[in-house]
Structure 1
């Protein structure tokens, strides 16, 4: 039976369903309710840490011991946790580890609106971005799989609207996760310079495999519509784009680091005008222009604050885009023309 959940409630439920046994974090809006909800489940360990650095280190220790782990903090907290995070990309994980970065466009409760998509790229770790509560639930499981398969911590980046908005979720059943055995291996876990150099090379090899995975990742998908307009987007912006331009072709990105170069090229080749709609930094736009593609992004859409459907409607009108699909080109249904499958279990 479907249940109405906030994004934060869905992340907590998704962590429980997918076998997380240790949750640790530092409170800060818009992330706080994740750990509060996770703590209500039986058979799990949930605790606040004195700061975000300690939270991540506790999580890494539990992962080392073979547990699946959820670490939660708001966006500025990742600054505090950066020291162990950078090295964790080298060492990798044992049990899957998901780090939630809850960003705050518009600074509803924060001192800045830094865009932590940059942090995932900086730390060289995978990053997923849900667009609603169902994806928030499901992407925890997918992130844990990716973490264990590619031997890396994974960032789950949310924003205030996804964290606090409610939508329906079909929760899964709890899947017990057996602790993965710990193997003593100083060359993997002990980052003295001699071992760090080899793990740096290992990191590049893991990233190469991740780039190939991004091209067929189930949460990166093309929704074909009117080929006169194509929009690349992610997170909550996807919901606004579908509201304002229901007939447009859309490339919805759920895995936003690494970005899928060939999928983007294929999508761009099938549309006449290409836009990137993303809150805050021109993170996706810069990648697209780096591919040599003509795209409209921050020259049209603002770089700060939250987007709204009304703002996007005005901006697309300024760009001369017809917001009403032609009768000869009806708007596709949400599932029509998807070139990639939905998330497993959805």
Structure 2
């Protein structure tokens, strides 16, 4: 039986995971990938948030070692965090299907860079598929699990913001054959990557990639659309949709297997047209590989490497128009919510003229007027390392002004290592870390994390104590304050901690204004559930 529904690309991947018999979905919330696991959970799938992307991939890899199908989701910069196990997972391979969704963000709609994660496929030596709309997101997610199980390799499904969040009609189908029941089969040479086992594993990987290249040459996933012989375009992803609108008469080779590339198919396509143009969003990855294979093609001007492509930009590329592009309309700049609990924090940091090593989260908006309250922002968890580095080298007067600022979810994600660095290599002037604890992962839509005490579907679970961690690793001063209820007290406390050479952690705790009502609802439900369990124990005579 089939079902037609209007779905976003993220929702389509979730539907494919459900229809494909995925045992476990795990990841870390990050726009534009967040909605995949949320939708999978709503469909009845088992989904969970991990502390960070590295842990998520390792959990998914373990599940796949056990013969299960696992889906791991993250945004493009999250793959940087997961890259360590990713590269070695190409050597170990998998027993069950393992698909990693990399949601790229061309144009930096909500990211600190616009890296092109197609590079990861070649660098790690893993097959990569890329859809151009929601139907293809559904179909290619299923195809990715099939390929993963056939070749016993993790498969990367590359999405982009436009595909993740745009909606189109999706026809769901019966899905994949039911997976085998998970079971562990010992394979020490294949799973334990000491040098003696890793060397033959690398050779085995390269043989698989060559077989995958041969597969890509004849795969129906790569679509050759016959059109005019005057113009042919090689493209992939959402750009294929732009090309079809900008040049409907052109012949089109629409690549879905973006790695390994079907170079001989591309060679035949290029020979079949008078003019062959490679149009790709982001870096010139296809162009470089195609030209290295000796296939004569045109490519876009380097000026089109930046930002998203569009129908109009594709027309300009085909016309070789390198003139100034129209300025995009100016929108309203983002800002902290009027009732955000971070306002008194930034007001105090500005008043005390602090040098602020910042981090990734909605609190990053404090960099904008009126506060301009952040001096650095590099990557998740970087506020601690950067702040410590500044403390180590600046003159004492300036060093004492340095503060590291991080959110609760980001602290759990990758701030703990920085906290340990702070204790292990303390600056002579001490250091001050402010954790902005609003009880949620607010930036991506109020998701849970290990510090909230609730799972992905808001059910109660064990809670990680930020203040407990700080005390356990040896921080001298650990304080909890509500900066909204007592702004003067927060200012006094921060002034005192900046003046001492001891290490200090200040937890500015107040719920996100957008999540506060839901948090109260979840906590009430948890209390009622605990009370009901206690009553049941009393009635059963167990207490």
> 1:221, CA displacement in angstroms?
1.8
Does structure 2 conserve the Cα–Cα contact (< 8 Å) formed by 1:94 and 1:180?
Answer: no
> 1:174, CA displacement in angstroms?
5.2
- Provide the residue aligned with 1:117 in structure 2: 118
Render the CA deviation track for 1:275-328: whole Å, top value 9, x for unaligned: 011111000011111121222113276111001111112332346xxxxxxxxx
- Provide the residue aligned with 2:86 in structure 1: 85
Distance in 2, matches of 1:183 and 1:30, equals 36
1:191 aligns with 2:159: no
Q: 1:32 aligns with which of 31, 34, 46?
A: 34
Render the CA deviation track for 1:140-195: whole Å, top value 9, x for unaligned: 11111111111110000000000000110001235532225432110101111111
Q: Secondary structure of 1:173's match?
A: coil
Structure 2 gaps of 5+ residues are 322-543
- Provide the residue aligned with 2:13 in structure 1: 11
Q: Secondary structure of 2:31's match?
A: coil
Q: Secondary structure of 2:57's match?
A: helix
- Provide the residue aligned with 1:317 in structure 2: 319
- Provide the residue aligned with 2:220 in structure 1: 218
Distance in 1, matches of 2:88 and 2:220, equals 28
Does structure 2 conserve the Cα–Cα contact (< 8 Å) formed by 1:301 and 1:315?
Answer: no
- Provide the residue aligned with 2:109 in structure 1: 108
Distance in 2, matches of 1:178 and 1:249, equals 42
Does structure 2 conserve the Cα–Cα contact (< 8 Å) formed by 1:17 and 1:173?
Answer: yes
- Provide the residue aligned with 2:165 in structure 1: 164
TM-score, with structure 2 as normaliser: 0.58
Larger radius of gyration: 2
Does structure 1 conserve the Cα–Cα contact (< 8 Å) formed by 2:106 and 2:307?
Answer: yes
- Provide the residue aligned with 1:330 in structure 2: none
Q: Structure 1 residues 298 and 313, CA, compared in 2 at 3 Å: closer, same or farther?
A: closer
Distance in 2, matches of 1:32 and 1:300, equals 31
- Provide the residue aligned with 1:128 in structure 2: 129
Summarize the alignment of residues 1-346 of structure 1 with structure 2, pairs less than 5 Å apart. 1-42=3-44, 44-173=45-174, 175=176, 176-299=178-301, 302-318=304-320
Q: Secondary structure of 1:76's match?
A: helix
> 1:84, CA displacement in angstroms?
0.4
Does structure 2 conserve the Cα–Cα contact (< 8 Å) formed by 1:63 and 1:97?
Answer: yes
Q: Secondary structure of 2:315's match?
A: helix
Does structure 1 conserve the Cα–Cα contact (< 8 Å) formed by 2:278 and 2:297?
Answer: yes
Distance in 1, matches of 2:139 and 2:85, equals 27
- Provide the residue aligned with 1:340 in structure 2: none
Number of residues of Structure 1 aligned to a counterpart in Structure 2: 319
Distance in 1, matches of 2:206 and 2:174, equals 36
- Provide the residue aligned with 2:387 in structure 1: none
Distance in 2, matches of 1:148 and 1:181, equals 15
Does structure 1 conserve the Cα–Cα contact (< 8 Å) formed by 2:65 and 2:94?
Answer: yes
Q: Secondary structure of 1:302's match?
A: helix
Distance in 2, matches of 1:204 and 1:53, equals 24
Distance in 2, matches of 1:300 and 1:242, equals 22
Give the RMSD, CA atoms, in angstroms: 1.4
Does structure 2 conserve the Cα–Cα contact (< 8 Å) formed by 1:125 and 1:257?
Answer: yes
Does structure 2 conserve the Cα–Cα contact (< 8 Å) formed by 1:9 and 1:33?
Answer: yes
Q: Structure 1 residues 201 and 147, CA, compared in 2 at 3 Å: closer, same or farther?
A: same
Q: Using CA pairs under 8 Å that are at least 6 residues apart, name the structure with larger relative contact order, 1 or 2.
A: 1
Does structure 2 conserve the Cα–Cα contact (< 8 Å) formed by 1:300 and 1:315?
Answer: no
Distance in 2, matches of 1:185 and 1:78, equals 27
Q: Secondary structure of 2:200's match?
A: helix
Distance in 2, matches of 1:183 and 1:316, equals 54
Structure 1 gaps of 5+ residues are 320-346
Does structure 1 conserve the Cα–Cα contact (< 8 Å) formed by 2:142 and 2:175?
Answer: no
> 1:45, CA displacement in angstroms?
1.8
Distance in 2, matches of 1:41 and 1:6, equals 14
Q: Structure 1 residues 187 and 300, CA, compared in 2 at 3 Å: closer, same or farther?
A: closer
